[in-house]
Amino acid sequence: MTELAADPNLGPAKLAAADHAEGMSYLQTVPRRLVTLYLPLGIILVVLLFPFYWMALTAIKPDEQLLDLDTYNPFWTTAPTLKHIAALLFESPYPHWLWNTMLVAVVATTLSIIASVLAAYAIVRLRFRGATWVGGAIFLAYLVPPSILFIPLSSVVFQYGLFDTPFALVLTYPTILIPFSTWLLMGYFKAIPFELEECALIDGASRWQILTKIIVPLAVPGLISAFIFCFTLCWNEFIYALTFISSTQNKTVPVAIVNEFVDGDIYRWGSLMAGALCGSLPLVVLYAFFVEHYVAAMTGAVKE
Amino acid sequence: MTDIALKAPGVPPPSPPPLAAERGKRISAWTRLTANRNWLGLWFMLPAAAFLILFLAYPLALGIWISFTDARIGQSGAFIGLENYEWLSDDSVFWLSVFNTLLYTAVASVVKFAIGLYLALLLNENMPFKALLRAIVLIPFIVPTVLSAIAFWWLFDAQFSIISWSLRHLGLISGNIDFLGDPWNARWSVIFANIWRGIPFVAITLLAGLQTVPPSLFEAATIDGASRWQIFRHVTYPLLTPIIAVVMTFSVLFTFTDFQLIWVLTKGGPVNATQLMATLSYQRAIIAGHLGEGAAISSAMIPFLLGAILISWFGLQRRKWQQGESND
């Protein structure tokens, strides 16, 4: 598949090239395009985005409009309020949970990226004996889902005395992240010309110098994609955080929202939605900044 | 092995530089450790391997071992052979969860694939704001599952669901729909939420595959008088098969082992109607404390997962053979 995989960097370039080509669209009339293209696309987009609109709207609706669907138009709000969000940020441990999530995500991602850069470089460029097998094993590791690991891992975490500490998550998340980012970086490293490395070897550089001074700077787009991907995965992780963390102050946002915000109060929806919104925003903002890298990484990794 | 000839002993990654005294010796043991390809490979692989062996391979084996014991939380159990599995084979809740998992996976994967492919084909057309649209489509994939599941929980509320409200005002239904309270409604609701969450991934990766198909093939087929369906069936689809195999493996694997969505929306209820194998194993192992039984349920997922992987693997192999590519 190497021919097909060639180079994740080519992704955006190809994409752009295809975009400029007018193609065969002149064969279609405007009304026809309206029915076959814009209408279905519009419906799908509305369905995909409606839950977020509803989440955001509920978060800023005052309580009396929240449950009264008949006197007010439920699809809009006349008196938006920041009450729920303010309560969340100033009267609940939510900022602390956000901080926990951020900390775990950053540390686990950094550890994973370092390990993945080394591993990907070794598999692609050192080509030690058995490198192909190791590459295959890493791919298989990606296919092992957390839902079959959490029971034995909980006893491992307990044995090592990590239960209910952030370390339980920082050390277990890399098992999800390393296989994926190694795989992603292997694609980027393969695209870097061999000649650069040969020159450096002749000039007397060590492998370590080659990696830090040539390969890593050239693979920065790949590193950014891997970073965002890992960060998103950490933020999304639920079952390990649910199993390994028990005290309220150590929880991450997804677990805390599900366990701490759900009480009998019928007006809880406002604060629940505010919590979900505030938990999603950091990722959406990060994604908005690096969307090109993200899409390229996804396409590149799959083509591999 | 050319490395040794090419380079002076350099700075090794994990340890200090070699002593001056050792430089210039023929090939000392130290040089071999820092310059030999295989040793270097070992050093470079060490961090990743440590994580994956300690927290992935070892727990995987441990999980299978626990499933043969009567371990409970806080006490390591004794070996009891296949007793957990025998117990499960008589347990109707377990078989219900297997049925639910298969239904959930089959329906969700097929629909995700169909709509995802359709969306990918639509996004591949020329239109204004193409890049922006692609970015927007991915948002459900970026937002953590639990948080969007909470939004769905609110959308599926028995009393204040906006879906019920809209349908009622359109005159399509007379009373509110009990989305998560009725067994079959609950099943379709969680399947819907899973499809919603999975479509962007399928669509964007298939779109990437579509971008690699040269437009000249479509032009040639059009000139030959092929209809849009024929172009899709005989040009696009065969060229997409390898990527479809990869995407669908992931989709099936992650749908089969889904936990988050169910846990937030129904926790397996009503009366186990949406209990998947993953949620059942969590309930038995962590909430009820029967680690052995929970581990047996999650080990029972392994054959299904292996099956999915093998099917897609052979799917890929067939493509390679048809394209005359060598296996690499």
- Cα separation, B16 vs A208, whole angstroms: 12
pLDDT of A25: 62
* B83-323 has CATH 1.10.3720.10 classification: yes
Q: Give tens-digit pLDDT for A107-132.
A: 999 999 999 999 999 998 888 888 88
Q: What is the DSSP letter of B274?
A: T
Residue A2, pLDDT above cutoff 50: no
Question: Which of the residues A19, A47, A48, A124 would you substitute to probe the B interface, choosing the one with the greatest number of B C-beta atoms within 10 Å?
Answer: A48
Cross-chain CB nearest to B259 (options A134, A147, A300): A147
Q: What is the mean pLDDT of residues B287-306?
A: 91
Domain residues of chain B, as ranges? 2-66, 83-323
Verify whether the Cβ–Cβ distance B152 to A122 is below 8 Å. Answer: no
pLDDT of B135: 85
Residue recorded with tokens 């040269």: B214
Residue A221, pLDDT above cutoff 90: no
Contact A125, A193 (CB under 8 A): no
Decide if B154 touches A, using CB distance below 8 A.
yes
User: Residue B25 has which token pair?
Assistant: 């010796």
Residue B2, pLDDT above cutoff 80: no
Verify whether the Cβ–Cβ distance B6 to A202 is below 8 Å. Answer: yes
Q: Which domains does chain A have, with CATH numbers?
A: 88-303 (1.10.3720.10)
- In chain B, the percentage of residues whose pLDDT exceeds 70 is 88
pLDDT of A8: 43
What does each C-alpha distance from B241 to A228, B192, B315 come to in angstroms? 28, 26, 8
Residue B30, pLDDT above cutoff 80: no
Q: Give tens-digit pLDDT for A21-72.
A: 455 666 677 787 788 888 999 999 999 999 999 999 988 888 777 777 777 7
Decide if B115 touches A, using CB distance below 8 A.
yes
Return mean pLDDT, chain B.
83
pLDDT of A19: 45
Residue B191, pLDDT above cutoff 90: yes
Q: What is the mean pLDDT of residues A2-25?
A: 44
Verify whether the Cβ–Cβ distance B135 to A291 is below 8 Å. Answer: yes
Give the distance from residue A107's alpha carbon to the nearest chain B alpha carbon, in angstroms: 14
H/E element holding A25? none
Verify whether the Cβ–Cβ distance B48 to A178 is below 8 Å. Answer: yes
The answer for A 168-207 residues in CB contact with B (under 8 A) is 171-172, 174-175, 178-179, 182, 201-202, 204-207
Contact A123, A134 (CB under 8 A): yes
- Cα separation, A23 vs B221, whole angstroms: 13
pLDDT of B277: 92
Confidence of residue A80 (pLDDT cuts 50, 70, 90): confident
What does each C-alpha distance from B307 to A35, B3, B7 come to in angstroms? 41, 43, 48
Return mean pLDDT, chain A.
82
Q: Give tens-digit pLDDT for A149-184.
A: 999 998 888 888 888 898 999 999 999 999 989 988
Residue recorded with tokens 């192999």: B317
